[in-house]
Structure 1
């Protein structure tokens, strides 16, 4: 005999939607107006855009609705707000399986981009359940909560649309794993910092064109990285080691780098760098930014104080970067699935693939195509938006820290 219990029929509910100019006290006033009717609160949603309020309250239907409607309309008249009261059955519809976060970035973000992305989501049988803004500058970042679509199907299709519309899009499966990310590992050259250190050294050595050509081919994946690195380093033979100090002083962090690291550290993340460049530069970056891990190649310096054109120790190449990510995670006791990797070149691909979230940052086409997501704006702190961290939260934390320092100094 089938003993399964039938689901109870949906309860009668009333949806109250309020529109108008936002000001303190509106929400409290609405609930006070509902209080005499002893109705249970089922759901609440509120959004404010440029000072305009949309407030939706779903309540259980009272035994007699005849008094509720006129009371709410009188309240709205007094408050100088528009109101809509609709009776119905049940709560929100049940979200379909396959919940996904879709983050859209644009500078600017254009309506045609949002239209094209929304159409593609619908064609993938997805429904947009919620939309909210993560940031308004230096880029506009919008997050869409989508249900009913397979994120593995959405990702490549939305990436193609975003590229055509000059926007960036990140697609991540919803769930606790997104919030569990606890280690972020970055490439250095053209990711954490602007430019390529080896090209700065080559400029001092008078061989910039030769080195830059080899670097470009290696980053596109046309040359074996280890062999190309040895070839480039050999061209630096005879360069005075003092040039390394000059390059250290001239290094420029990528815009947003300090904000990214500072915010991640506040939230308890561990942050590391791994580079096909050189420890003579990465170690100073580690100390300056307070990073937890750093790994790179080391240039050999002869007794005469000049570069020998050779490296010491194992080469940090494509496989070495992925191994470093796993090693950092193991040292910290963090599952690799809970890591984020950021890079721009072909030698970052294994690291991006190994991480729980691999981000191609202003990357070569071969990297953008294979990474989980791609960001093509020159602000490294946009990575925070992919983790669901808003610009408002970042600025509030900065302001609180400044106030704490000011109070301590007073």
Structure 2
């Protein structure tokens, strides 16, 4: 019988955290070591900051004699040594963790000059005010195109969910306006990651003037009252193919 008793032994899990310089061979080598040790991989997470990567593995430990645990640790240590990586181990008892609530994704984009640490602090404070729990933060853009973008995965409690969500949305939109950026909130899931098309008005939305004025000026013609009237009328009722032709 193991350290935690028969039931506890079946529920033990090994958490291995591997870190070091980023290398394309790192992850394949680690997974090969796990396969060699016949390890039952439960979960895996990897992230990279600058040239440093961190890989976290959660491995099931079901062998009462502990031989499998020894084999897994040995293979991972050999792999880490060969790749000049650091590795840490921790053994925990698996437990069912209740995760009530719903997960939403908050995407923030802002010019480099306004996306300061203080701005991120403000975002986190608004999320916390409405009982949001930040599970992950991912950098989507690092400023090479003049913008910085972050994605927050936030879990909100079920209690009074929609009112809290709306209040949080209002607070975040105010922050985005102040930072000359934009913040979007959507429910997390496969649909959120799918490619979609967004259609919205151009005049006084993306630009601070009427699109017709820009088109007239670009074409080198004077403003046409008839065309302007037609364009404005289609905004309110939608563009009909026969009207356009």
Q: With structure 2 as the length reference, what TM-score do the two structures score? A: 0.72
Go from structure 1 to structure 2 and tell me whether the alpha carbon gap of 1:181 and 1:154 turns closer, same or farther (over 3 Å shift): farther
Partner of 1:196: 210
Query: In structure 2, the residue corresponding to 1:144 is in which secondary structure?
Result: strand
Go from structure 1 to structure 2 and tell me whether the alpha carbon gap of 1:155 and 1:83 turns closer, same or farther (over 3 Å shift): same
Partner of 1:96: 100
Task: Give the deviation of 1:25 after TM superposition.
Answer: 0.9
Residue 107 of structure 1 contacts residue 140 of structure 1 at CA under 8 Å; is this kept in 2? yes
Residue segments in structure 2 that go unaligned for 5+ positions in a row: 1-6
Indicate whether 1:134 and 2:140 are aligned.
Answer: yes
Task: Give the deviation of 1:99 after TM superposition.
Answer: 1.3
How many matched pairs? 220
Residue 18 of structure 1 contacts residue 83 of structure 1 at CA under 8 Å; is this kept in 2? yes
Partner of 2:225: 299
How far apart, in 2, do the equivalents of 1:185 and 1:66 lie?
Answer: 57
Q: Deviations over 1:235-255 (max 9, x none)?
A: xxxxxxxxx4xx23379xxxx
How far apart, in 2, do the equivalents of 1:183 and 1:323 lie?
Answer: 21
Spell out the pairing of 1:71-110 with structure 2 (5 A cutoff): 71-90=75-94, 93-108=97-112, 109-110=115-116
Larger relative contact order (CA 8 Å, sep ≥ 6): 2
How far apart, in 2, do the equivalents of 1:13 and 1:140 lie?
Answer: 38
Superposed CA RMSD: 3.6
Q: With structure 1 as the length reference, what TM-score do the two structures score? A: 0.46
Partner of 1:34: 34
Residue 39 of structure 1 contacts residue 62 of structure 1 at CA under 8 Å; is this kept in 2? no
Task: Give the deviation of 1:72 after TM superposition.
Answer: 2.5
Spell out the pairing of 1:393-408 with structure 2 (5 A cutoff): none
Residue 105 of structure 1 contacts residue 167 of structure 1 at CA under 8 Å; is this kept in 2? yes
1:68 to 65, 72, 78: 72
Partner of 1:51: 51
Query: In structure 1, the residue corresponding to 2:100 is in which secondary structure?
Result: coil
Task: Give the deviation of 1:141 after TM superposition.
Answer: 0.9
Partner of 2:219: 249
Residue segments in structure 1 that go unaligned for 5+ positions in a row: 1-7, 202-243, 252-279, 282-297, 302-309, 329-410
Residue 104 of structure 1 contacts residue 141 of structure 1 at CA under 8 Å; is this kept in 2? yes
Go from structure 1 to structure 2 and tell me whether the alpha carbon gap of 1:55 and 1:250 turns closer, same or farther (over 3 Å shift): farther
Q: Which moved more, 1:192-201 or 1:114-123?
A: 192-201
Q: Deviations over 1:264-295 (max 9, x none)?
A: xxxxxxxxxxxxxxxx99xxxxxxxxxxxxxx
